Homo-oligomer: A and B are copies of this chain.
Amino acid sequence: MNTLYEHGTLAMLMAKNLAGTITLEELLKHGSCGLGTFEGLDGEVMILDNEVYQADSTGAVHHVTDMSTTLPFASVHFPKDLHSVTVGNVDFDLLNKQFVHDHQLQNVFAALRLHGTLADVLIRIAPKQERPYPSLLKVAQGQPTFSRQNIIGTVFGYYAPAAFGSITAAGWHLHFLSDDRQFEGHLLSFNAKTLSGDYEIFDQLDQHFPVNNREFRQSDVDLQSLREGIAKSEGHQD
């Protein structure tokens, strides 16, 4: 059995619950690879082989070793049942259509990790928010973006079925981290001649909630605004 562990939900972020509710120490018990953000939506986090990298909104990338750092939202897993893949002329359009179709991912959670040279890459990085916290939607409207050409690195992240779109980013949610660890963020668009790596399909989603967090328990989720907000804030450009 292979499991994807998720702490928090997009619904929580939309309801302005941006406080960190799990420590890196606890999170890494549930996976050695993953994605997330720090308290206050502070940047874009990628965890690769137990190493934690955070890009802040200036574009700087930090190797994070303070395991007391907290996150409001993160997904992690231990790689287990890997299928090797090599993909040519790869971009979001290819991943969204051909890749999902070929590997029948549409109704399951999956992880993807690809490495190689990206001809073009565009990322965004969430800027840290202070209390009183805004919703994810508000933050998503003014996020800095960064681009590079001909950069070697790792595209890593998850696929989630459409039915889970109020819980986590539906479809692909990918980050990019350069091999020199100087460039990282939430992937908006990219293309590459060839990327190689692996994917994995999960039997189970372990969705964890910060049930002892008072703000989370008391907050109101407006489902219609939630869906519109997620569509606007978690998209990528095809």
Contact = CB atoms under 8 A, between A and B. Distances in A.
Interface of A: 9-12, 15, 104, 106-109, 161-167, 201-209, 211, 216-221, 223, 226
22 contacts: A11-B107, A15-B107, A107-B209, A107-B216, A107-B217, A107-B221, A108-B217, A163-B166, A163-B221, A163-B226, A165-B166, A166-B166, A167-B167, A201-B211, A202-B211, A203-B209, A203-B211, A204-B206, A205-B205, A205-B209, A206-B207, A207-B207
B164 A167 contact: yes
B11 A108 contact: no
Given A108-B217, A204-B208, 10 more contacts: A9-B163, A11-B163, A104-B218, A106-B217, A107-B221, A163-B167, A163-B221, A202-B211, A204-B209, A206-B206
* A-B complex: 5 closest residue pairs judged by Cβ atoms: A11-B163, A163-B166, A104-B217, A205-B207, A204-B208
Contact of A106 (B202, B208, B211, B221): B221
State how many copies of this chain the complex holds: 2
Contacts of A209: 107-109, 202-205
Contacts of A162: 221, 223
A104 B220 CA distance: 10
A107 B12 contact: yes
A10 B209 CA distance: 21
A217 B108 CA distance: 8
Contacts of A165: 166, 223
A24 B161 CA distance: 26
Contacts of A208: 203-204
Contacts of A10: 163
A201 B209 CA distance: 10
A140 B30 CA distance: 39
Nearest to A9: B163
